A and B are shown apart, each in its own frame.
Chain A
Amino acid sequence: MESIILQIAARHMRPLLIGLSLIVLYRGHNEPGGGFIGGLMFGAAYILYAMAFGVVKTQKSIFFNPINLTALGLLIALISGLPAIMLGDIFMTGEWYTFFQGTMMELKLGTPLIFDVGVYFAVAGMLMLVMFSIMEE
């Protein structure tokens, strides 16, 4: 199925959806959002692209393999537990650090965010893997 409208839409929607997924990922700790939903959005961006252009072309347009992305996500999630051990706490304890304290740009980052990034990649990779294998003819 070749649809010009869908192709143009998909081409422009992809960066938009990826950007939105990153926002959702970042705000996820205290507000609705998070790694899982962000990952789904990221995967959806590529699935939309694959619907418009076909799986083969989509796989050529991405520089990563979905299964490697999943593995990377798992690795990141695993690593996010390690800073706690280095700081003398039990594995997986959330460690927080505030950047630019006292200024307007106050930014609180911690290991749960790293874990969320891991989830983000793992979910995105898994979703793309499954969907591509179903869409492949």
Chain B
Amino acid sequence: MILVLPIILPLLFMVVLIFTRRWLAFQQGFSIFASIMLTFVSFLILIDVQQNGILAIQPGSWDAPYGITLVADLFSAIMMTTTSFVGIIVMIYSPGFIDKERQTAGYYPLVYGLLMGVNGAFITGDLFNLYVWYEVMLTSSFVLIALGGSAEQLRGSIKYVTINFVASIFFVSAIGILYGQVGTLNMADLAAKMRTWDEPMYINSALMLFFIAFSVKSALVPFFFWLPASYHTPPMAITALFAGTLTKVGVYTMFRFYSLFVVFDQQFWTIFILTLAGLTMFIGVLMAASQFDIRKILSFHIISQVGYMIMGLGIFTATGIAGAIFFTVHNMLSKTNTFLAGGLVYQQSGSYDLKYLGGLYKAKPFLALLFFIPAMSLAGIPPLPGFFGKFFLIKGGFEAQQYFITAVAILTGLFTLFSMVKIWNEAYWKKEPEEVKERGKVHPSALIATSLLAAAVILMGIFAGPVIDICLQAGEQIVNPEMYINAVLKR
């Protein structure tokens, strides 16, 4: 029964926040409380799944292949907990960063709409329902990215809306084709039927459509151009929320689909996914290195990091998947953290452009540390969690004898370090430029949120052992889809 809560709680919060949208102080307080509650519920699910195995319920009491299933395995529970945690941080950060007009124009309800969609996508076990949750999530993000309506934002959001709508169309077409062939929408039932299917043609074409749809949503090469064109336009808190959650839903779905549905031509899919993963990592990081706007550097980094996650998928051993899951969780935390720290830079000096920045380390060493921790973690410096994620990915790569992609991953790590050091040098270390914009003050709530997140990144590095254990279990569940199928179909 607890499985419906990650969906109905955000809906309830959203309704409450819509009715109270004029009372700003209440909105700010309530949304922090609500996100903590959501994290608590997700954490309970995580513990439950870890002890009792995969959970599945049938809301509406229609039995498994016919009704909509909600199912949580370790991977989805981990993702849900991390998302809600990122939600807490962003909710604490927002009052200090987003202007009052945006806050009262429906920012808080929309964030809960987004979280409802994300959670729904994580725990649904039905293809069409997955599409619906994607749309809930995307529609909320459409409004969030356009909220405020400056010309720059409108430009970004038209591109964002168009490309995401087209991707959704690919998704629905694939669902249609698959349903016409196999005659079921329940993901477990589909997977079970595909394993005894003798005609791979339609299934492969549907899978390719799915793959295109999700590579648009998770910004893989060659479908990533929308992300840097739109992510830098809204206020930093919104970008941070998007960076921490949206592309990862695409990655999650790709993992789920690969595990359940790829039964034909596995050789081809492995090579295909590994090639795209390598290209994504490398092109993403090269483009990041060539930018001078903090937001754009970080946006291109999202792309590069998605490549690592997909690399774990291509390797498809328990170690590789576990590394990818660990890396994803770490990335949701660190990526959000770097964006939030970038927001602090903006509050301090009124610009995102590296040319106009400088001397921030001298001004406020602690704030510099808040950027330094997640940046070094993303680059993979040892005591921080990014190192363990990459370590397990590379270990998985060697074990699966995929040497080339592993080499690309290591090389990309160097470039990541380079572009992070670039921000560090330009914004924090170099001398203050002559024509500096007026200095601002960092809002305390923004500072608290960023510090909390940086602390979480460090903690994840210290407790990497237990987290890796859970990720390994989750990896086992992904590699053996029979566990998922049996849990849903109650066999």
Q: Taking the complex as a whole, does A directly touch B, i.e. does some CB pair lie under 8 Å apart?
A: yes
- Chain A residues engaging chain B, CB cutoff 8 angstroms: 67-68, 70-71, 74-75, 78, 81, 84-85, 89-94
Q: Given A78-B12, A81-B8, A93 and B18 touching (CB < 8 A)?
A: no
Q: Given A71-B18, A71-B19, A90 and B57 touching (CB < 8 A)?
A: yes
B15→A93 contact, CB < 8 A: no
Digitize B8-38: 1 where CB-to-A-CB distance is under 8 Å, 0 elsewhere: 1001101100110100000000000000000
B4 within 8 A of A: yes
A74→B15 contact, CB < 8 A: yes
B59→A90 contact, CB < 8 A: yes
Residues 361 to 410 of chain B near chain A (Cβ within 8 Å): none
* A22→B180 CA distance, assembly (Å): 35
* A71→B19 CA distance, assembly (Å): 7
Residues of B contacting A74 in the complex (Cβ-Cβ under 8 angstroms): 11, 14-15
Of the candidates B8, B15, B59, B61, the one whose C-beta lies within 8 Å of that of A71 is B15
Residues of B contacting A89 in the complex (Cβ-Cβ under 8 angstroms): 61
Residues of B contacting A94 in the complex (Cβ-Cβ under 8 angstroms): 60
Interface size of B in residues (CB-CB distance below 8 Å): 16
* A78→B13 CA distance, assembly (Å): 12
B18→A67 contact, CB < 8 A: yes
| Chain A facing B: main interface SS | helix
Residues of A contacting B4 in the complex (Cβ-Cβ under 8 angstroms): 81, 91-92
Q: Given A78-B8, A81-B8, A90-B1, A68 and B61 touching (CB < 8 A)?
A: no
Supply 19 further A-B pairs (C-beta < 8 A) apart from A71-B15, A91-B8. A67-B18, A67-B21, A67-B106, A68-B18, A68-B19, A71-B14, A71-B18, A74-B14, A78-B8, A78-B11, A78-B15, A81-B4, A84-B61, A90-B58, A91-B4, A91-B59, A92-B60, A93-B59, A93-B61
* A74→B57 CA distance, assembly (Å): 22
Query: Closest CB-CB distance, B135 to chain A, in whole Å?
Result: 14
Residues of A contacting B14 in the complex (Cβ-Cβ under 8 angstroms): 71, 74
Query: Closest CB-CB distance, B391 to chain A, in whole Å?
Result: 42
Of the candidates A67, A75, A78, A93, the one whose C-beta lies within 8 Å of that of B60 is A93
Residues 230 to 267 of chain B near chain A (Cβ within 8 Å): none
B18→A90 contact, CB < 8 A: no
A90→B12 contact, CB < 8 A: no
Q: Given A68-B19, A70-B18, A71-B18, A92 and B59 touching (CB < 8 A)?
A: yes
Residues of A contacting B21 in the complex (Cβ-Cβ under 8 angstroms): 67
Residues of B contacting A85 in the complex (Cβ-Cβ under 8 angstroms): 1
15 contacts between A and B (CB under 8 A): A67-B18, A67-B106, A68-B18, A74-B14, A74-B15, A78-B15, A81-B8, A81-B59, A84-B61, A90-B57, A90-B61, A91-B1, A91-B8, A91-B60, A92-B4
